[in-house]
Amino acid sequence: MKVLPFKISKQDNVALIYQEDSTPLFYDKLHQHEEIQLSYIAHGEGTLVLGDSVNKFNQGDIVIIGSNVPHVFRSDPIDKGKSCMISLFVNTSSLSTDFFELDEFESLQSFFDATIYGLKVTSNLEIIKNLFVQLKEADKLGRFILFFKILNAVGNSNYQQLSSFIYSKNYTNSEGKRMGAILEYTMNNFDQPISLDQISSLANLTPNAFCKYFKLRTNKTFVQFLTEIRIEQACKLLSKNSDLSVSEIAFSSGFMNVSNFNRKFKLLKKRTPMEYKKAHSF
């Protein structure tokens, strides 16, 4: 089996990298890279895990991820053949020292500071989308010009912070692989019972040590994280499967008790499952 890296290396001495991922499923391993990532989801949907957050991503989303922030895009299997992401990776260390601290970028400083928590742009989406689409046919200089146009558009847009906590120390490669294995197992098996003994054994830690390890790096317990994964799955089913009852969706998402599902759902989404279903069904 091929061992996949946690730290993804890009080209040396290149300040701006264009990448188009057009595959059945996005790269679904926890990973990090030095470059700031600006991405437009042209097709596909799924789950983005970043910092202490579990987020949905959908077609049309524009997401920005800061330097060395561990993350994973997990495509929904039902969308096989439809995943496409257009990205710019910005290696600020390849530019001259303090380039982005010039007076011309003063209005963008709060934006750059916020990228470490992950951002989702919520306005001017059509303008920014059109700029991303132009990247494919542009030459290297043209992409730099488009990059600054995208920066300007994003800086003048509204955006929401995706996470509230990022582990302050950079993960080592081995530690990143350990966390990646934990997340992958959880996202593959959330619809089944997962005991603390099971998940701590996977991490080669005692249950007590695992609880401390996971809480330190995510600012939440493993049970909280698992619950959020299950609730996000339930949201997808509620918005797409009108024929399924709330109890069927609860059990399909890994909950063994409908009352507990309703309570946890309202706690996280501030509305009942039925209210969510009515608001998102078309």
Q: 236-260, pLDDT tens digit by residue?
A: 999 887 788 999 999 999 999 999 9
Give residue for tokens 């969308």. Answer: 79
- Domain membership of residue 67 (yes or no) is yes
Which of 146, 161, 176 is the endpoint of a domain?
Answer: 161
How far apart are alpha carbons 58 and 215 in whole angstroms? 28
How many domains does the chain contain in total?
A: 2
Q: Is residue 26 within 8 Å of 83, Cβ to Cβ? A: yes
- Domain membership of residue 183 (yes or no) is no
Q: Which helix (H) or strand (E) holds 19?
A: strand 16-23
Phi first, then psi, for residue 182 (nearest 5°) are -65, -50
CA distances from 85 to 27, 48, 57, 129, 173 (A): 11, 13, 11, 11, 25
For residue 110, the domain's CATH number is 2.60.120.280
182-185: which pairs have CB atoms within 8 A and are 24 or more residues apart? 182/214, 183/30, 183/49, 183/72, 184/28, 184/29, 184/30
Do 30 and 152 belong to one domain?
A: yes
For residue 202, the domain's CATH number is 1.10.10.60
- Domain membership of residue 134 (yes or no) is yes
CA distances from 137 to 35, 60, 248, 253 (A): 22, 20, 47, 42
Residue 118's closest CA among 24, 52, 177? 52
- Domain membership of residue 174 (yes or no) is no
Q: Where are the alpha helices (DSSP H) in the chain?
A: 109-114, 125-134, 140-155, 173-189, 196-202, 207-218, 222-240, 246-252, 258-269, 273-280
Q: 153-200, pLDDT tens digit by residue?
A: 998 899 999 998 888 777 888 888 899 999 999 999 999 999 999 999
DSSP code, position 68: T
Q: Which helix (H) or strand (E) holds 36?
A: strand 36-43
Q: 57-100, pLDDT tens digit by residue?
A: 999 999 999 988 999 999 987 655 679 999 999 887 766 556 66
Do 157 and 216 belong to one domain?
A: no
* Percent of the chain at pLDDT exceeding 70: 88
The confidence score (pLDDT) of residue 60 equals 96
Residue 44 structural domain: 16-161
Q: Is residue 246 within 8 Å of 259, Cβ to Cβ? A: no
- Interval 266-272 mean pLDDT: 95
- Domain membership of residue 10 (yes or no) is no
Pairing between strand 159-161 and 119-121? antiparallel
Do 47 and 155 belong to one domain?
A: yes
Do 129 and 44 belong to one domain?
A: yes
- Domain membership of residue 141 (yes or no) is yes
What's the pLDDT band for 111 if we cut at 50, 70, 90? confident
